[in-house]
Structure 1
């Protein structure tokens, strides 16, 4: 019977999002799942739902070797769908798609993806659609910037978070310069600003917000939203404790205008900065699965299954409504966040409150992202990796 099920290969298997994809499709019993990554042992590779684990060259350090491996592998192993979960593997496979005739990807065309992934192009598109964005100025070299004319604080935002140049990946950063001295120190380490486009953006006081969605060739299928309750690092970063919330209608309206304009297909995360006055400003779009994907699945929105069914033209039902206030905790990430908080200059009272909050147990409406009794091996793999990183 399994031979009749479509076969899916989940890439980037050591990512938490890849584990969520593997568990989602495996639990559905509709697909045969295998996984792959560049490390010897990976989270999704250890899952009970991954029938086989494959190891490939590191796409971050050896991009061409990775593509060669995929080309040879796909020619000798049949999979109906490849599911990458990081920006690097997704863009590599799209860039070299013509060389990979056996690799089926659940994405929009490369040009559509880059229209959103490239932050300079995204700003241009937002202006055409009259979507609110921070004041932005585009530069092609840091030498073009007249520092004396800058208004601080200013956000230094490269057009791409990953630059593929001369056969290798260059990882960029978004930084905030608070003054001229800060500017000099920050840009001295950003050599890529000499040859890669970047923006200087107005800093918007407020908080980050975003919505998650899936589209079928320009038509919205499902939206989802969550709130970050704790992050790593604590002042803003990766979510370690989050909860599902209703989709804010103002953010949804902007996302629909934006994604509809590029005839979007697949999943996306649209990120905003919401000012202290409550006004949303478009910041960026991630054109792949997000880190806290498991929260949406726990709340009832099974994005991986919906995407696979949609792309392979199998029956799928949009949910629209989902459980509010469902929580997800990444335990080891939360532990790191607690450690950073304790090491900070916060008052003792706040540190004790944070410790008590970390130790509090919620029995209903909250799940652990990695630690699941029904699929415990990924938790052991993560713990071993975590302990090795402490040496």
Structure 2
């Protein structure tokens, strides 16, 4: 197995399972240089299967798929991917299928917005999280907006809102939930779900401690409706916000592998293996059940969570003491570590060196 990134060294490249690490031109700044490099690397190293893991690398490969026809790429065609990745298209698809979505106004440019129609707080959500302009990628951003003046400033000062589609959505108060799926040629093959136990920052963000959990019926039903309608192929993470009334509102669909992937593998759903096998052979409809309650901990991220909690002046002394105890309390059996694995410590030493500023 070969691993590659745009930096001289990377976490995955330090694993004992990486036969060779390669550095490629950054597709963010020059997609064509990246494509040319990849074509040469495929020929040199006799590569037959590609598994991009970032949105930009995935989109770039899909947009140039005809040049990689001799390699397996575990994705649906670009048109199907964009139907789910484009949040405006996805929202309209969900509405047509009876999948709950926040109240939404659609715009092609900021000049179309009538501020008198907007109810606050609201969410500005660009249709695409990554935009390719003149062979370079730009990242858009979702904003929670509290007032008319704040919205007017964002519409004026955010260049990609001037000429790229976006939505203004009702703000949903609640918690996040996700359905992780694998489909083969339009047929559901595997599902997974997890629960976030601690995040960085503590108020909500990247998961630093999570646990495998049962997938609730409604999110599974809504995810299935959407992916069936898209005749999906490959993996997908369908994200919901569960409102105070218990309704799961669709937020977005991530059409590539996700950050908490290792938890699914540890619990019994090996999505990378399914992606690979699914390009060469039929996958049985009935996958073995995964184990619930398996925990995954990102140790250095959890350390940041502890630091931010202790630093927060709004957190009581008692809560801080409990947090220290929970952080230090060992858990044996069903807890795994995301990076510091005793049988493959290379990635952890690389991460620790960067964490300490080395």
> Normalization by structure 2: what TM-score?
0.95
Name the structure 1 match of 2:326: 357
Cα offset, 1:188, TM superposition: 4.8
Whole-angstrom CA distance in 1 between matches of 2:73 and 2:357: 34
Whole-angstrom CA distance in 2 between matches of 1:110 and 1:95: 7
Query: Which consecutive segments of 4 or more residues in structure 1 shift more than 6 A?
Result: 314-317
> Within 5 A, what are the aligned runs for 1:58-69?
58-69=26-37
> Within 5 A, what are the aligned runs for 1:263-282?
263-282=231-250
Cα offset, 1:187, TM superposition: 4.0
Aligned pair partner of 2:342 in 369, 373, 377: 373
Aligned pair partner of 2:191 in 205, 217, 223: 223
Whole-angstrom CA distance in 1 between matches of 2:188 and 2:203: 33
Tell me if structure 1 keeps the 8 A contact 2:155–2:162: no
1:303-354 CA-to-partner distances (Å, cap 9, x unmatched) read 1111111112277785341111100001111122223333333233233332
> Within 5 A, what are the aligned runs for 1:141-152?
141-152=109-120
Gaps of 5+ in 2: none
Q: Look up the SS of the partner of 1:94 in the other structure.
A: helix
Q: Look up the SS of the partner of 2:98 in the other structure.
A: coil
Whole-angstrom CA distance in 2 between matches of 1:196 and 1:333: 35
Whole-angstrom CA distance in 2 between matches of 1:99 and 1:203: 42
Q: Look up the SS of the partner of 1:373 in the other structure.
A: coil
Q: CA RMSD in A?
A: 1.7
Q: Does 1:202 align with 2:178?
A: no
Tell me if structure 2 keeps the 8 A contact 1:246–1:324: yes
Whole-angstrom CA distance in 1 between matches of 2:226 and 2:214: 20
Whole-angstrom CA distance in 1 between matches of 2:153 and 2:208: 30
Q: Does 1:85 align with 2:56?
A: no
Tell me if structure 2 keeps the 8 A contact 1:326–1:366: yes
Taking structure 1 as reference, are residues 103 and 174 closer, same or farther at Cα in structure 2, changes over 3 Å only? same
Name the structure 2 match of 1:24: none
Name the structure 2 match of 1:213: 181
Whole-angstrom CA distance in 2 between matches of 1:357 and 1:187: 44
Cα offset, 1:116, TM superposition: 0.2
The number of residue pairs the alignment matches comes to 357
Name the structure 1 match of 2:62: 94
Name the structure 1 match of 2:203: 235
> Within 5 A, what are the aligned runs for 1:178-189?
178-189=146-157
Name the structure 1 match of 2:351: 382
Whole-angstrom CA distance in 2 between matches of 1:375 and 1:76: 28
Cα offset, 1:150, TM superposition: 1.6
Taking structure 1 as reference, are residues 206 and 375 closer, same or farther at Cα in structure 2, changes over 3 Å only? same
Gaps of 5+ in 1: 1-32
Cα offset, 1:127, TM superposition: 1.6
Whole-angstrom CA distance in 2 between matches of 1:310 and 1:143: 46
Name the structure 2 match of 1:110: 78
Q: Choose 80-89 or 173-182, whichever is displaced more.
A: 173-182
Aligned pair partner of 1:139 in 80, 95, 107: 107
Q: Choose 138-147 or 220-229, whichever is displaced more.
A: 138-147
Whole-angstrom CA distance in 1 between matches of 2:321 and 2:152: 38
Cα offset, 1:147, TM superposition: 2.3
1:100-132 CA-to-partner distances (Å, cap 9, x unmatched) read 333321111011100000000001111221211
Tell me if structure 1 keeps the 8 A contact 2:183–2:189: yes
Cα offset, 1:91, TM superposition: 0.5
Q: Does 1:302 align with 2:270?
A: yes
